[in-house]
Amino acid sequence: MAGQIKFGTDGWRAVIAEDFTFDNVRICSQAVSVFLKATVPDTPRVVIGYDTRFASEDFAAAVAEVLAANGVHVYLSTSFTPTPVLSHSVVDLKADGGVIITASHNPGRWNGFKYKAPNGSSAPVETINEIEKHLADITKSGERPARMPLEEAIGRGLVERYDPSVRYLQAVRGLVNVDAIAAMDGIVIVDSMYGAGAGYISGLLDGGTVHVEELNGERNPIFPGIRPEPIGENLAKLEETVRERGALMGIATDGDADRVGIVDEHGRFLNQHQVFALLCLYFLQVRGERGAIIRSITTTEMISLLGRKFDVPVHITRVGFKYIAPLMLQYKAMIGGEESGGYGFRGHVPERDGIVAALFFMDMVRQTGQTPSQLLDRLYEMVGPHYYRRADIELDAPAATRLRETLKNLDPKAVGTSTVDRVDTTDGVRLALDDGSWVLFRLSGTEPLLRIYVEAKSESRVQELIGESAKLLGVKTG
């Protein structure tokens, strides 16, 4: 039922055949159509893409049929498409919006509906609020969404097939010296995690001396043996392959390739905070650029320390690129990032791009002549060691309701033996502790999860704080 459609931090996601049905996707599409017709004076134009999940192309076709029936001109991707590629095409075509069918890093039984603003970023809160109002109106009226068969829409010129990868790849070459990266010596292992990013990095570097070996590069909607999120616990195969092949590094992109994970030359995962800080250092020190940095509240304090060291402003905001992107545009920010492993860059669309982030990281290795582990040592020499962990705790409905109320009133004086210096409720509840550590509690906006984020100056302290934090809320971490 449409009443179950609720947009979270980045779109609406649901389990296929339960809530993520053709009927609900069509209702979403009708709501988007109403929004566009109310806000765009001429014929609205929308780009539609889809990922490698089960029936994603069919759900995308359903979106196209509804939009076309409502007089919206549609550019429908000819193949599965990474989210950043779709976002780039929205800007490149000067379209009025974009829709991509993807559940990003969620398990294979999920799918989702992301709506993009004309600047290619995740739609702002105001836009999503309007679309959700139209959803409620459509549901209340009981009217079925308009539909036009896809072939008829194509024949009438309302839907045209479009390959967004061509112009995207041209744009990437303008951001980073792809030919110089391709001329590196060594092996790079890329884990596409059965997702939409398959073939992009290897294709860009094809013909050079660097040898790219791709794992999980075929389409498999059930994501066998993995969850398509590029974090350490999901990258055992990548880590092992890097060690076995003596590779320069490993790179992983998530289901829709807007996030990146990095494995160093020893087969050790570099967490998202380390990668974000290293990318900031790449722009500040290697490329000599200056500009604001935007980070979400769940990211590392290393970013703020680098900001002070290089005398650039760092702005902190809520979780989600729909909050980061407006600040990137407002401050002409050099880079914006979040804890999930999603980073956006100046001169590109204000949206996460795992493919471009990977290339920038490779370029840092190329230009410095240092390995990923050496680069991390270099970073720690500047800002001190920082260790991090995020614990995801699955919840049932009663537990989620209880924790939502608990977090509203949470104001502890201590976590274990550490005094709480400051409580920040920008997004969730963040506790700054007297030893420089911090803990943040946040209920996921897209999944039934409680997330506990911790950063401290040692791995043992991180583990200790995870346990103490879970005890504070009365939950178990394992």
pLDDT digits (tens, 9 = 90+) for 11-39: 899 999 999 999 999 999 999 999 999 99
Q: What is the pLDDT of residues 309-344, one digit of tens each?
A: 999 999 999 988 989 999 999 999 999 999 889 999
Q: What's the pLDDT score for residue 1?
A: 45
Q: What is the pLDDT averaged over residues 435-441?
A: 94
Burial pattern 444-472, b for ≥16 Cβ within 10 A else e, equals bbbbeebbbbbbbeeeebbebbbbbbbeb
Element (H, E) at 406: helix 397-408
User: Would you list the DSSP string of 80-112?
Assistant: ---HHHHHHHHHHTT-SEEEEE--TTS-TTEEE
CA gap 225, 211 in Å, rounded: 26
Q: What's the pLDDT score for residue 400?
A: 85
Distances from the Cα of 238 to the Cα of 203, 420, 449, angstroms: 19, 39, 26
Which of 54-68, 114-128, 382-396 is predicted most confidently?
54-68
460 three-class SS: helix
Residues 6+ apart with CB under 8 A from 287: none
| Fold match flag (176-383 vs 387-473) | no
Q: What's the pLDDT score for residue 71?
A: 97
Q: What is the pLDDT averaged over residues 199-218?
A: 97
CATH number of the domain at 387-473, out of 3.30.310.50, 3.40.50.2000, 1.10.620.20, 3.40.50.970?
3.30.310.50
What is the 3-class SS of 164-210, one letter each residue? Answer: CHHHHHHHHHHHCCHHHHHCCCEEEEEECCCCCCCCHHHHHCCCCCE
The CATH class, in words, for 176-383 is alpha beta
Q: What is the pLDDT averaged over residues 53-68?
A: 98
* Nearest to 360, CA basis, from 396, 334, 398, 394: 334
Into which CATH architecture does domain 2-164 fall? 3-Layer(aba) Sandwich (3.40)
For residue 245, pLDDT beyond 60: yes
Structure letter (DSSP) for residue 233: G
CA gap 293, 194 in Å, rounded: 32
pTM of the shown model: 0.93
Q: Of 154-168, 289-303, 443-457, which gets the smallest average pLDDT? A: 443-457
314 three-class SS: strand
Residue spans of the domains in the chain: they are: 2-164, 176-383, 387-473
Q: What is the length of the chain? A: 478
Mean pLDDT of the chain: 95
